[in-house]
């Protein structure tokens, strides 16, 4: 009886051992079901043909020196899945850019590379970007400077992972025209005048900023028109208006010219009336020009008093000539006018004084400033 009990105990123990082993072996290949879902247990050895491999991310974007752990899942043709991250064969297309070991990607240097995972005849590729810049942006879209002035530019790089960083001191700076500006580590110094462009390059991307130095948008004169008398002078003031809306006096720096030196001359904005007539004064500065019309002794009307004279032979009579100018002023021009007689044998004239010679009729012509007045003379 005692021996029979021993045999029954040994049989139960052996049966339990076999049942526990079967359950454990099955657990290695089958999912464990729980209320939260299906949990996959990593197997050191999974039988069956792999249908596909999948990675937990489609791409990796890292900064230099950073790491990211990838997870690789094998889906078998029998419908089961298992994490095979530690079992796969991992490799990098360029170990100088990125290394990978057991799915752990380490960013070594900036650039683009690919990481491969191989397992049971299947292969999956994961693109990796390290410090890859998607765009560069400057803190200013345009610079407007005066000669001698300086301004600091800041360059921000936006990476493929959407992060941003100030790369001002890392970029390569170039100026299209070195005679207009100088650039060093983002500091732009204006040394000339004109238009140019500054370009910042970094990680295969570039951004360009237009620059204007002492660029004159227009010139302004202190007068729109001059009406002068002979020998009279007037000082003009020239203002240069820059693209940044500031102004500066450019009177002495400008180039001044006159259209007709017989009418007026100009030097550093000082206009001197020389002779009667019309001319134009032009000022040039910063690639811009401005012109002002000038009238010298330009009369709008000439009057003579009287315009009809009756005299006896031997008599004299004085005529008076008055000029009214375009500026509405008037002046006696008797001594300046030109006097002529159509028939000097009847009456002669000099300086506005008529001398009757003999009986008859004649006409006196008075000319001044382009105007002519006729005076009828009768000698009895």
- What span, in angstroms and rounded, lies between the C-alpha atoms of 324 and 18? 136
Mean pLDDT value of segment 161-186? 92
Quick one: 68 and 15 in the same domain? no
Count of the separate structural domains present in the chain: 5
Q: What integer pLDDT is reported at residue 24 of this predicted model?
A: 35
Residue 353 lies in a domain: yes
Domain boundary among the residues 106, 130, 154 is at 130
Mean pLDDT value of segment 71-89? 95
Structure confidence at residue 20 as a pLDDT band (50, 70, 90): very low
Comparison of pLDDT for 42 and 348, the residue scoring more: 348
Query: Mean pLDDT over all residues of the chain?
Result: 87
Q: Is the pLDDT of residue 105 over 60?
A: yes
Quick one: 248 and 313 in the same domain? no
Quick one: 189 and 236 in the same domain? no
Residue 35 lies in a domain: no
Give the domain range for residue 149: 136-213
The pairing of beta strand 172-175 with beta strand 194-202: antiparallel
Mean pLDDT value of segment 251-261? 96
Domain boundary among the residues 130, 162, 185 is at 130
Residue 155 lies in a domain: yes
In DSSP terms, which residues pair with 220 in a beta bridge?
239
Residue 37 lies in a domain: no
Q: What integer pLDDT is reported at residue 209 of this predicted model?
A: 97
Q: How far is CA 230 from the centre of its chain?
A: 49
Q: What integer pLDDT is reported at residue 3 of this predicted model?
A: 43
- Model pTM greater than 0.75? no
pLDDT (tens digit, 9 = 90+) per residue, 272-311? 999 988 999 999 998 899 999 999 988 889 999 999 999 9
- What span, in angstroms and rounded, lies between the C-alpha atoms of 320 and 306? 7
Residue 201 lies in a domain: yes
Structure confidence at residue 131 as a pLDDT band (50, 70, 90): confident
Domain boundary among the residues 100, 130, 160 is at 130
User: Helix, strand, coil proportions of the chain in percent (round to 5)?
Assistant: 5, 55, 40
Mean pLDDT value of segment 97-123? 95
Residue 347 lies in a domain: yes
Tell me the Ramachandran region of residue 218: left when phi exceeds 0, alpha when psi lies from -120 to 50, beta otherwise: beta
Helix-then-strand count for the chain, H and E = 1, 42
Quick one: 76 and 109 in the same domain? yes
Quick one: 190 and 162 in the same domain? yes
Which CATH number characterizes residue 363's domain?
2.60.40.1080
Mean pLDDT value of segment 150-163? 93
Quick one: 280 and 304 in the same domain? no
Structure confidence at residue 9 as a pLDDT band (50, 70, 90): very low
Quick one: 193 and 176 in the same domain? yes
Comparison of pLDDT for 118 and 300, the residue scoring more: 118
Average the pLDDT over each of 17-21, 310-314, 315-319, 324-328 and give the range with the smallest value: 17-21
Take residue 121 and report the two structure tokens written for it: 């005849």
Residue 39 lies in a domain: no
- What span, in angstroms and rounded, lies between the C-alpha atoms of 22 and 55? 32
- 222, 291 contact by CB (below 8 A): no
Structure confidence at residue 13 as a pLDDT band (50, 70, 90): very low
Residue 101 lies in a domain: yes
Q: Quick count: other Cβ atoms within 10 Å of Cβ 245?
A: 8
Share of the chain above pLDDT 70, in %: 88
- What span, in angstroms and rounded, lies between the C-alpha atoms of 229 and 327? 10
């Amino acid at each position: 009886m005692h021996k029979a009990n021993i045999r029954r105990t040994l049989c139960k123990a052996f049966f339990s051992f076999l049942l526990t082993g079967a359950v454990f072996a099955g657990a290695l290949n089958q999912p464990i079901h729980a209320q939260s879902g299906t949990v996959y247990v990593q197997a050191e050895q999974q039988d069956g043909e792999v249908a596909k491999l999948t990675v937990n991310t489609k791409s990796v974007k890292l900064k230099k020196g950073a790491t990211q752990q990838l997870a690789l899942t094998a889906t078998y043709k029998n419908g089961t899945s298992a994490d095979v991250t530690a079992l796969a064969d991992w490799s990098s297309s360029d170990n100088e850019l990125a290394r990978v070991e057991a799915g752990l990607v380490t960013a070594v240097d900036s650039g683009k590379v690919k990481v491969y995972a191989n397992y049971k005849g299947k292969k999956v590729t994961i693109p990796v970007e390290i410090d890859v810049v998607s765009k560069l942006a400057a803190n200013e879209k345009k610079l407007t400077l005066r000669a001698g002035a300086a301004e600091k530019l800041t360059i921000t790089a936006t990476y493929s992972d959407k992060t941003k960083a100030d790369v001002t001191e890392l970029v390569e700076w170039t100026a299209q025209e070195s005679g207009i500006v100088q650039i060093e580590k983002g500091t732009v110094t204006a040394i000339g005048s004109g238009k140019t462009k500054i370009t910042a390059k970094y990680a295969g991307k570039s951004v360009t900023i237009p620059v204007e130095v002492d660029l004159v948008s227009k010139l302004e004169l202190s007068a729109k028109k001059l009406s002068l008398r002979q020998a009279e002078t007037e000082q003009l003031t020239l203002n240069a208006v820059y693209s940044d809306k500031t102004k500066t006096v450019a009177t002495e720096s400008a180039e001044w010219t006159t259209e007709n030196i017989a009418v007026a001359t100009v030097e550093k904005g000082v206009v001197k009336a020389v002779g009667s007539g019309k001319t134009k004064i032009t000022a040039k500065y910063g690639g811009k020009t401005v012109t002002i019309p000038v009238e010298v002794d330009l009369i709008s009307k000439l009057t003579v008093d009287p315009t009809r004279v009756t005299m006896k032979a031997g008599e004299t009579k004085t005529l008076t000539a008055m000029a009214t100018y375009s500026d509405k002023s008037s002046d006696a021009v008797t001594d300046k006018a030109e006097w002529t007689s159509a028939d000097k044998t009847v009456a002669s004239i000099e300086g506005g004084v008529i001398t009757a010679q003999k009986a008859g009729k004649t006409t006196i012509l008075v000319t001044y400033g382009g105007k002519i007045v006729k005076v009828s003379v009768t000698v009895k």
